[in-house]
Amino acid sequence: MRTKLWVIAAAAGLLAIAVPAVAHHSFAAEFDADRPITVKGTVTKMDWVNPHSWIYIDVKDPSGKVVNWRFEMGPPNALLRMGWRKDSIPAGTPVEIQGYRAKTGEPVANAKQVKLPDGRELFSGGSAPTLPVAPESKQ
Amino acid sequence: MKRTLLLIAVATILAATLPALQAQDQTPAKWSPPRTPDGHPDMQGMWARRGAAMAEANAPKSPLSEFGATGQPYPTVFNTGVSTPQAAAALTNRPSGIIEPANRVLPWRPEADAARREFLSHMIPPASLKYVEASARCVPPGLLGGDDRHPYQIVQRPGSFVLMYEYNHVTRVIHTDGRLHVGPNIRLYMGDSIGRWEGDTLVVDTTNFNDKTSFSQTIPYHSEALHTVERFTMVDPNIIDYQLTIEDPKLFTAPIRIAGTFAAAAKGSELMEFACAEGSQTLPNIFGFGLFPEQ
């Protein structure tokens, strides 16, 4: 399963096409690229919803208080083709997510990459930079 | 000796035949598409659209496409992942984006260009709801404002060609039954589309647009005078050639032509539910949750 997931993720990367992709909306309108964030927490749920999937995680702040963060991800069809499955990260899974905070300062962010307990890293398919860029990509 | 002669004869025949074979290879028979019962090309199925975008040269800097303090536009890094490897290979060297004017410098009317630059300057942070980009407000996409990470489905019936978008659940029923456009007072987000077959090409004429959809992150709107002509031609089992001509005399002094491709989507692809406001959450992320008392 692990190999299969990686193969699918790699294939999705190889298929990255160097034509202008049109995202649902501007990253810059909502998120702050100058506020990257990495949080560790436990998955509470994942919503497979268009135009964006959302992953919710409980994160303990330094004082021990638990805050539920939510991270915007790509559309379900994109996640599916990148190797995600509905049961990829069930509730209770410890994860580490890299992303960019929302400009409002709420516990909301745009996910870039999700690291699973076994070390696998999955791209989020969101609107933040994830794969090592399109210009070198070949169709 | 006899054997040598035979070999020479065979070699001679081969040498004479080869050029003919090569010539034949260079002119393959024209591919003929599968057909619907009424005799038109059968394009039904799941497709991924690529390349159809209004990426103008010398575009003004749009705050919408900047990424971070470096001022770099954020890269378009992810693939929609809905096309097949075969289709991806077939996309190589396909025409893409603005093809007329060839230098991609759009024939702006100076006053219209100035007005859109002024508009762009108010979009981040948005001065009011009007300046929030259309897609973030879940407005239907128009012909170019969607998100091509989402697949499309084509359904054909006698008298209509239906283009279904996963994006925002848009369904464009393109009437091919000879009817005329609706009256001029009816203004629509996706316009009113009338199709006709020119040989194996479906030609779609669309008018009656409203002015509430966008072309791109640097062209955030168009006018109600917009008139488009699209041409769909299936060139092989994995590729529909897509051509779009845009006329908007209030913005541009000449037509603009765009090329793109509908590539066969991966086996098993299907349209999924699209809950724009619930899934996007862009407005609360911009304005804060105070805007939504229930949250």
Buried b / exposed e along A68-105 (16+ C-beta atoms within 10 A): ebbbbbbbbbbbbbbbbeeebbeeebebebbbbbbbbe
* Residue B186 contacts residue B209 (beta carbons within 8 Å): no
d(CA B223, CA A68): 44
Of A28, A47, A133, the CB nearest to B77: A133
Give the least confident one: A15-24, B29-38, B120-129: A15-24
Mean pLDDT along residues B232-248: 96
Residue B62 confidence (pLDDT): 76
The least confident of A15-24, A83-92, B213-222 is A15-24
Buried b (16+ CB within 10 A) or exposed e, B271-289: beebebeebbbbbbbbeee
CA distance B79 to A130: 11
Give per-residue pLDDT as tens, B107-145. 999 999 999 999 999 988 888 888 998 988 899 999 998
pLDDT band at B63 (very low <50, low <70, confident <90, very high): confident
CB contact under 8 A, B279 and A50: yes
CB of B118 less than 8 A from some CB of A: no
Q: What is the pLDDT of residue B3?
A: 58
Output Rg (C-alpha) for chain A, integer angstroms. Answer: 15
| Nearest residue of chain A to residue B267 (CA atoms) | A81
Lowest mean per-residue pLDDT among B68-82, B175-189, B204-218: B68-82
Beta carbons of A50 and B123 less than 8 Å apart: no
Q: How confident is the model at residue B188 (pLDDT cuts 50, 70, 90)?
A: very high
Can you give the pLDDT at residue B124?
84
Rounded mean pLDDT of B251-269? 93
Greatest mean pLDDT among A35-39, B86-90, B145-149, B204-208 lies in B204-208
Nearest CB partner across the interface for B276, out of A51, A102, A138: A51
Place of tokens 């039904």: B44
Average pLDDT over residues B73-93: 58
B16 CB-near residues (< 8 Å, 6+ apart): none
The partner residue sitting opposite B78, judged by closest CB among A34, A123, A135, is A123
Residue B74 reports pLDDT greater than 50? no
Q: Give the per-residue pLDDT at B248.
A: 98
3-class SS shares of chain A: helix, strand, coil, % to 5: 15, 35, 45
Position B28 confidence tier, pLDDT thresholds 50, 70, 90: low
Q: In 3D, which of A133, A99, A128, A139 has the Cα closest to residue A25? A: A128
Residue B78: the pLDDT is 41
In the numeric block, which tokens belong to residue B81?
Answer: 């992942």
Residue B39 has pLDDT above 60, yes or no: yes
| Residue A2: predicted pLDDT | 43
Report the residue from B67, B92, B274 with minimal CB separation from A51. B274
pLDDT exceeds 80 at position B291:
no
In chain A, which residue's Cα lies nearest the Cα of B51? Answer: A19
Q: Could you tell me which residue, B14 or A139, shows the higher pLDDT?
A: B14
Q: What is the pLDDT of residue B147?
A: 80
Q: Span A12-41, mean pLDDT?
A: 65
**pLDDT average, residue stretch A10-18:** 34
Q: How far is B258 from chain A (nearest CA, A)?
A: 13
Indicate the range of A32-36, A55-59, B209-213, B216-220 predicted with least confidence: A32-36
Residues A113, A123 contacting (CB under 8 angstroms): yes
Query: What is the ipTM metric for this complex?
Result: 0.71
- Give me the residue spans of the domains in chain B: 46-59+96-269
Cis peptide before A51 (omega within 30 of 0): yes
The domain segmentation of chain A, as residue ranges, is 2-14+30-123
The answer, for A136 touching chain B at a CB cutoff of 8 Å, is no
Dist. CA A20–CA A37, nearest whole Å? 27
- Domain covering A2-14+30-123, topology: OB fold (Dihydrolipoamide Acetyltransferase, E2P) (2.40.50)
Average pLDDT of the residues in A71-98: 87
Residues of chain B with pLDDT > 70: what percent? 80
User: With a CB-CB cutoff of 8 Å, which residues 54-83 of chain A face chain B?
Assistant: 54, 72, 74-78, 80-82
A102/B contact by beta carbon, under 8 A: yes
Whether residue B79 and residue A15 make contact (CB cut-off 8 A), yes or no, is: yes
pLDDT at A83 over 60: yes
Secondary structure in 3-state letters for A122-134:
EECCCCCCCCCCC
Average pLDDT, chain B: 84
pLDDT greater than 80 at residue A99: yes
Contact A23 B149 (CB under 8 A): yes
According to the model, what pLDDT value does residue A130 have?
A: 36
Q: What is the mean pLDDT of residues B56-62?
A: 87
Phi-psi category of residue B104: left, alpha or beta, with phi > 0 → left and psi -120 to 50 → alpha: left
Between residues A121 and B8, the one the model is more confident about: A121
| Residue A7 or B262, more confident | B262
pLDDT at B122: 92
Mutate to test the interface with B, among A5, A24, A69, A80 (most CBs of B within 10 A): A24
Smallest Cα–Cα separation from B201: which of B47, B40, B51, B45? B40
